[in-house]
Chains A and B, each alone.
Chain A
Amino acid sequence: DVKVTQSSRYLVKRTGEKVFLECVQDMDHENMFWYRQDPGLGLRLIYFSYDVKMKEKGDIPEGYSVSREKKERFSLILESASTNQTSMYLCATPRASNQPQHFGDGTRLSIL
Chain B
Amino acid sequence: GQNIDQPTEMTATEGAIVQINCTYQTSGFNGLFWYQQHAGEAPTFLSYNVLDGLEEKGRFSSFLSRSKGYSYLLLKELQMKDSASYLCAVLNTGGFKTIFGAGTRLFVKA
In the complex, chain B residues whose CB is within 8 Å of the CB of A106: 41-42
User: Which residues of chain B come closer than 8 Å to A105, judged between CB atoms?
Assistant: 41-42
**Majority SS of interface residues in chain B?**
loop
Query: Which B residues are in CB contact (< 8 Å) with A104?
Result: 42
CB within 8 A of B96: which of A43, A56, A100? A56
Hey, which chain B residues are within 8 Å of A101, CB to CB? Answer: 33, 35, 43, 45, 98
Identify which of A35, A42, A58 gathers the most chain B CB atoms within 10 Å of its CB.
A42
Inter-subunit contact B102/A100 (CB<8 Å): no
Q: Does A48 belong to the interface (CB within 8 Å)?
A: yes
Interface size on A, residues (CB 8 A): 23
B96 touches A97 (CB 8 A): yes
Q: Contacts A42-B87, A90-B42, A103-B43 given: A98-B96 contact, CB under 8 Å?
A: no
* B42 engages A97 (CB within 8 Å): no
Which residues of A sit under 8 angstroms from B59, Cβ to Cβ? none
B contact set with A: CB distance below 8 Å:
4, 8, 30-31, 33, 35, 41-45, 48, 50, 87, 89, 91, 95-98, 100-103
